Structure 1
Amino acid sequence: MTDTLISLLSILIGIIGANSTGLFFKKYSFGLIGNTIAGVFGSVFFIKSIGRLGFSPQDIMQTGSVDTYLFALNSLVSFCGGLAAVIVLSKLAAKFNKSDKFN
């Protein structure tokens, strides 16, 4: 695997996390396309910000082969990033929609 492939897999796992959140928690769902977009941005944000602790795609491939523990940690953070993005965006949308009723 290469760094690019690991990055793409991380984004895919974030998309899965966001869409599964929308599937199991209907009140947080933005539909398939909205959850997919939230999953992409959530996983990228989490991996870029938290991945500096040592489980970025470059760190996973540093030895020339895949470090499975770092890849599992990267996958978990990507999944949580997609999940968190859907929930945060849902709360933000509810807050904005609530303020529109008074205008």
Structure 2
Amino acid sequence: WKGLGMAFCVILAVAAARFAIFDALHIVLDRKPSEALAAGSLLLAIAVGLLPMINTYYAQYEGPRRAAVLIGSFGLLLILLRPPLPIKGGAECPKLPLALCPRLWDASHTPRRE
């Protein structure tokens, strides 16, 4: 259970740091990153964050290692293929105020459309 709790904490940490990852991509690229690049970078950050925990707690099992590789390769595919994502900025909530609508990005951290 300790490893699963730590994996959940890694995912929460990447979700909390999504604006910092977006800003780092913005500085490196000198433009706003695309939606696919931003989402793929978040998935890669989750996979990289899970690797030390997997090597410590689940070194003898192949399943967690394969899951981390699958998450990382899906993020890398998003970055390389750059598919257009259906909804800009996350969930679409037409009748809810912005504070109640679960969104991935805020107004100043909106990825550019491709």
TM > 0.5 between the two? no
Per the normalisation by structure 1, the TM-score is 0.35
TM-score scaled by length of structure 2: 0.33
Q: Which has the higher contact order (CA 8 A, sep 6+)?
A: 1
Pick the structure with more helix per residue: 1
